[in-house]
Amino acid sequence: MKIKWLLLSLSALTIVLCSFMPYPGGAPSPYYYTGSPSDGHNCSQCHGNASLITGAGQVDLSTVSISDYSTAGATGGSSYYWNITPPEAGAISGTGLTGTVTWNPAFLGLAYIRAKALNECGDGGWSDSKEVYVINGTGLIETSKASLL
């Protein structure tokens, strides 16, 4: 649901239309327009999508339980919202350029991590998703070909 509101500044006789998207799940966004165009807070100067997500493309739960993923950000982004799907893969936290995943030890398969920039004008678009293959190598034994002969 996109929420729009109108700010009327009687002293400057300016009207600025701003909009923002609440966090997924309906929680209210803490980012809102609090200024006027004359103080540099103009909603027409909002940001774009967060940049490419970097981090491990494969996670082995037998050795790793927490992983960091990063973005170089988006122009105008003051903080970031991180997302992991499916939710059963684990939990992701962070509001900066790095999101930290705490992996669910029972999850195996593909997970996708993405981020979006936030500022006083609202949310930017999602970055492309980073695909992460989650495995558990517990119980696998490495052998050389020589030991099999």
Q: Is residue 17 part of a domain?
A: yes
Q: Is residue 149 part of a domain?
A: no
Q: Is residue 143 part of a domain?
A: no
115 beta partners? 82
Q: Is residue 67 part of a domain?
A: yes
Q: Please tell me the number of Cα atoms within 13 Å of 137 on its side-chain side.
A: 10
pLDDT exceeds 90 at position 75: no
pLDDT at residue number 139 = 67
Q: Is residue 148 part of a domain?
A: no
Distances from the Cα of 28 to the Cα of 2, 82, 118, 128, angstroms: 11, 16, 13, 24
Q: Is residue 47 part of a domain?
A: yes
Residue 84 sits in a domain whose CATH number is 2.60.40.10
Domain that holds residue 16: 3-138
Q: Are 124 and 46 spatial neighbours (Cβ–Cβ below 8 Å)? A: yes
pLDDT at residue number 60 = 97
Q: Is residue 55 part of a domain?
A: yes
User: What's the pLDDT tens digit per position in 24-39?
Assistant: 444 433 333 444 444 5
Domain count, the chain: 1
pLDDT exceeds 80 at position 118: yes
